[in-house]
Amino acid sequence: MTFLRILLAAGGLILLASIIWASQAASIGASFSAMAADPWGIVALIDLYLGFLFLGVIIWMFERNKLIALLFILPLPLLGNVWAAVWIVWRLARLATRLKPASAS
């Protein structure tokens, strides 16, 4: 479990580094406009935001404290999968124990 948490945290940090690099290399507005002008760019954005919605539903259902749930759900569209990685790394052990399949009889 620890190895998986480290791996997921590293993925989140790699994504964060990529975002920092891209923000220095190109304008986010111009890049977004180019994506919005391309049909596959629109599909990619729909996929991205539906993924945020799907994860938001999981977070809402999983978190007992709805304030904590909202603190993770509301920033998702702005902070993206870097923020998703923070929640997953934080909750991975609890997720794993709650999602264990029932043993076959």
Q: What is the pLDDT of residue 40?
A: 96
Phi, psi of 27 (to 5 degrees): -75, 130
Which pLDDT score is estimated for 102?
65
Residues of the chain under the 50 pLDDT cut: none
* Alpha-carbon torsion, ordered 27, 28, 32, 34, to 10 deg: 20
- Distance between CA atoms of 3 and 1, rounded to whole angstroms? 5
What pLDDT does 96 receive?
86
Instruction: Please tell me the predicted confidence (pLDDT) of residue 103.
Output: 63
Question: Cβ of 38: how many Cβ atoms within 10 Å?
Answer: 10
pTM: 0.82
Q: What is the pLDDT of residue 56?
A: 97
Alpha carbon distance 85, 90 (integer Å) = 8
